[in-house]
Structure 1
């Protein structure tokens, strides 16, 4: 058994469970910042669908280069790649679990295609709506590395808090400036958000046998291939792009994406897919609120949106309370 698999077999300590909470919240905030950066990059490249996909390819490509260098730099991590290959051949890790990167690619593509039009707040709302509704099902189906986590009233309540919160935020934004284009574009991050729960479960299973760096590398390789294939078609149809902008921070999307994917792969087994998803949702919604209120020239957040952010925190607390009791009962 590999070192990563041995570590995965031991139940997380109380300290690890507590330390995982701010880390999961931080992972969610990374998505909000990444959405802002990738949306701005897409706008500077021309604001078209081709520009949005180009921004996604640039972000995913930079993340791929970084994670490849980090993963291949040590013998232990290179051994993890071989261990993953062996686990796939033996059936310990199903082949479908290697495709989690496609969900990550769809999220980054949705950022480039929609954020400039619908804003970071509504983007985050749509993502979290999809994520919260699918996390409960993913845990119940046992897709994650921790096995099946059955449905329960507290877990359903926690997910309902997240859905209600994003519904309030979406309602405020759409009432303010409703259009069929805005509503239609919001479907893209909604679908991407639903895929994030599956991505976390699949990446967690890969991480359990090969470690989070190998899981992240696999995620970026698969996602990059999928993105380039879609980008190539879009570029043939419309290749009118503006020159690359000079602001260095617009190219940090890949670094933020790597941070989110690594943290998700490492932490999903600590509290399960639902709690991870809810913490990510809270971090993402609160991060988006800060971006809209502090950075955006035209903020789209009012009192309802702020209250919705607080409601996501309530959902996280309920889920953590239930998770803590379940852990004590198991012990």
Structure 2
């Protein structure tokens, strides 16, 4: 068996690569929303596509189907709380905000907001012991990292000189907390079902139902889109989400909610900057975005540094 530190390092690297996928998903879903002119419908298409993928995978996986039975039995026995089945709400709000907010703020600023929410949410959830790894006490480096993540958002927004972005960026901050909660409850479901595929499936069922309801109301009020993008890659956001959610469910027990979020957002930040340079959704890179992203990356690195929990000698 690999050394625990090597296992942790591998988990953090894997989560960082998954973070790159989150930034890619933000770019894809934001582009789909721009092309269609309807962020609600774009989000439903993205999540619905992911549900199709995971249903096909589940049909071919005996372990995944067995996981559904174990999950049902654990819920019936009271060992898995019913609220743990609704982690897909966090993913649904992420995808929806990617379509509605990211095209206005750009991928980089959107990602910095997600970072602040994930870091803060992960710190609290680890402290309360809500994740599958149990209670993880705060350390000075984790607290400093969380504070720096908030500073990163302030630097980015203040540097933009756009008062409207102050309120807009609060949305991805709140969504980032939801993403941390999603990773936490997915880890619980994965442990109970002994299958990451089962946890991923539950995510996409819940998220698709929520987004289809929102998209239906949107179409009734605003009408059906007059144009549909022809680029195939704009419809691949759901497939990317399947990979991200499955990886997070597998790794959260090893890394904890906070460190998983930290390594994940490091990948998001690097990829977000690359997308703003090559394929911007809004105004591309600005000095404030570069500064805020740099502070957020420092926050991630700081929180990952080893340190003794507070209150211990």
Question: Normalised by the size of structure 2, how large is the TM-score?
Answer: 0.92
Q: 1:81 aligns with which of 38, 45, 68?
A: 68
The ranges of structure 1 where at least 4 consecutive aligned residues each deviate by more than 4 angstroms after the TM superposition are none
Q: 2:200 aligns with which of 204, 216, 220?
A: 216
The DSSP-based 3-state class of the residue aligned with 2:227 is coil
Aligned mates of 1:237, 1:12 — CA distance in 2: 57
Q: Deviation of residue 118 (structure 1)?
A: 1.6
The DSSP-based 3-state class of the residue aligned with 1:92 is coil
Q: Deviation of residue 301 (structure 1)?
A: 2.2
What does residue range 130-169 of structure 1 map to in structure 2 within 5 Å? 130-169=117-156
Deviates more, 1:250-259 or 1:298-307: 298-307
Q: Which consecutive residues of structure 1, in runs of 5 or more, have no partner in the other structure?
A: 1-9
The DSSP-based 3-state class of the residue aligned with 1:322 is coil
- The reply to whether residue 20 of structure 1 matches residue 20 of structure 2 is no
Q: 1:281 aligns with which of 258, 265, 287?
A: 265
Q: 1:61 aligns to what?
A: 48
Deviates more, 1:122-131 or 1:51-60: 122-131
Deviates more, 1:24-33 or 1:308-317: 308-317
Q: 1:313 aligns with which of 293, 297, 312?
A: 297
Aligned mates of 2:3, 2:58 — CA distance in 1: 24
Aligned mates of 1:303, 1:184 — CA distance in 2: 20
8 Å contact 1:207–1:215 — kept in the other structure?
yes
Aligned mates of 2:2, 2:176 — CA distance in 1: 28
The DSSP-based 3-state class of the residue aligned with 2:84 is helix
Aligned mates of 1:157, 1:70 — CA distance in 2: 41
- The reply to whether residue 44 of structure 1 matches residue 35 of structure 2 is yes
Deviates more, 1:280-289 or 1:157-166: 157-166
Aligned mates of 2:112, 2:118 — CA distance in 1: 10
Aligned mates of 1:286, 1:85 — CA distance in 2: 39
Aligned-pair Cα RMSD in Å: 2.1
Deviates more, 1:270-279 or 1:69-78: 69-78
Aligned mates of 2:207, 2:281 — CA distance in 1: 32
Q: Deviation of residue 284 (structure 1)?
A: 1.2
- The reply to whether residue 33 of structure 1 matches residue 17 of structure 2 is no
The DSSP-based 3-state class of the residue aligned with 1:195 is helix
Aligned mates of 1:152, 1:21 — CA distance in 2: 18
8 Å contact 2:30–2:281 — kept in the other structure?
no
In structure 2, do the counterparts of structure 1 residues 146 and 11 end up closer, same or farther at CA, with 3 Å as the change threshold?
A: farther
Q: Deviation of residue 161 (structure 1)?
A: 2.4
Q: Deviation of residue 179 (structure 1)?
A: 4.4
- The reply to whether residue 247 of structure 1 matches residue 231 of structure 2 is yes
C-alpha deviations, 1:46-99, integer Å up to 9, x for none? Answer: 2xxxx1011101100110110111122121211011011111111221100101
Q: 1:117 aligns with which of 104, 118, 133?
A: 104
Aligned mates of 2:141, 2:113 — CA distance in 1: 23
C-alpha deviations, 1:115-150, integer Å up to 9, x for none? Answer: 222211121122222222211111111111001112
Q: 2:187 aligns to what?
A: 204
In structure 2, do the counterparts of structure 1 residues 143 and 229 end up closer, same or farther at CA, with 3 Å as the change threshold?
A: same
Q: Deviation of residue 42 (structure 1)?
A: 0.8
- The reply to whether residue 187 of structure 1 matches residue 170 of structure 2 is yes
